[in-house]
Amino acid sequence: MTLFLLVLLAALAFEYINGLHDTANVIATVVSTRVLTPRIAVIWAAMWNLGGAFAGTAVAATIGKGIVDTHVVTMPTVLGALFGAIIWDLITWWLGLPSSSSHALIGGLCGPALASSGGDWEVLRWSSGLWPKVVFPMLASPILGFLGGFILMSLMTAALQRARPRIVSKVFRIAQLGSSGLMGFSHGSNDAQKTMGIITLALFTGTSSGAFKALPDWAGFLRIPEFKVVPHWVILLCAATMAAGTAAGGWRIIRTMGQRIVKLQPVHGFAAEATASIVISTASAFGVPVSTTHVIATSIMGVGATKRFSAVKWGIVERIVWAWVLTLPIAGLLGYLFVLLFRLF
């Protein structure tokens, strides 16, 4: 029970940091285009994140039972996964790099699962979970974000070429309120569910291992004999925690996303947010835990490339890509090492 409480606290810390870390994904464009002030923008994003978190649990099911064999998962496994993801998130936050909290959590889960199984690679559900719902989307979603942003911005440029710049700016300053709201909703519908899946996995692990047998009747809500439904209290707790993290803001990453990659105007912000929202919402509907960071960053790149490819600051992009590439293996290694460390105690 003590281990479960540690897992729960670590999961909520990860969810809070996820909201803090990924605030930039939701509001970087709307802040950089000066449609909203930073303070109003984080409140706006937190509200939409909260609503999106209640949109479904398909992604939670994928994280909780579709990535690794649940029979080898123990409380230290889950705790190691969360510690690995949290440390990598904090490192990239400090460096101002918009890495993926989603992939940090997935990598963090794979490493501890390997450690708990004694290095048996069969515990990783490659064909049914990791490849179709993690690795392939990890490669495909940035491409879709870039191409979608480029195509949408190109079409909008052609359609608006005779419009007065002042009118275009005024219209899309209003439109961007809607697109940033949709971005916040789609972020909540995907990212908040990942921690829901981890907590539900911990509840299932505690129940199946017999660790919750001695719990009093009033604590019966912690017992989950089958991983079928995410408990309502888990959904509410994760939604509120992510919204709180979002409201805290992640200003280091906001500067990278909204100002360093390419200079944005309201019409560009709208195109990037609309593209990213469509990609992320579609993935959430199919239970695919994509990276909101990957999608919105590449959407911004695609939009910026319509001006000219030199408008995108590719040196900053290179640093971001390296953070993406390193996220899965480093988070996995950290999680693996934490499980080995836990065994000493």
| Residue 249 confidence (pLDDT) | 62
Residue 345 lies in a domain: no
Cα distances (angstroms) measured from residue 54 to each of 58, 71, 134, 192, 303: 11, 28, 22, 9, 30
Residue 190 lies in a domain: yes
Q: Which residue has the higher pLDDT, 212 or 261?
A: 212
Give the domain range for residue 122: 2-338
User: Would you state the structure tokens that stand for residue 95, as one six-digit string?
Assistant: 């460096």
Top-ranked range on mean pLDDT: pick from 141-150, 159-168, 238-247:
141-150
Which residues make Cβ contacts (< 8 Å) with residue 305, sequence separation at least 6?
Answer: 146, 150, 311, 312
Task: Find out whether 255 and 96 touch, Cβ atoms under 8 Å.
Answer: yes
Task: Find out whether 100 and 294 touch, Cβ atoms under 8 Å.
Answer: yes
Residue 101 lies in a domain: yes
Residue 300 lies in a domain: yes
pLDDT band at 279 (very low <50, low <70, confident <90, very high): very high
Average pLDDT estimate for 37-43: 78
Residue 343 lies in a domain: no
Q: What backbone phi and psi angles, to 5 degrees, belong to 124?
A: -85, 120
pTM above 0.85, yes or no: no
**Residue pLDDT, tens place only, 196-238:** 989 999 998 888 888 888 888 888 888 888 777 788 899 999 8
Give the chain's domain count: 1
| Residue 258 confidence (pLDDT) | 47
| Residue 311 confidence (pLDDT) | 64
Give me the helix-helix angle, 75-95 and 314-343, nearest 10°: 150
Degrees (nearest 5) of the Cα angle 305, 306, 307?
A: 90
* Separation CA 33–CA 231 (nearest Å): 39
Average pLDDT estimate for 105-133: 89
Ramachandran class of 290: left when φ > 0, alpha when ψ lies in -120 to 50, beta otherwise: beta
Please check the confidence at residue 24 and state whether its pLDDT lies above 70. no
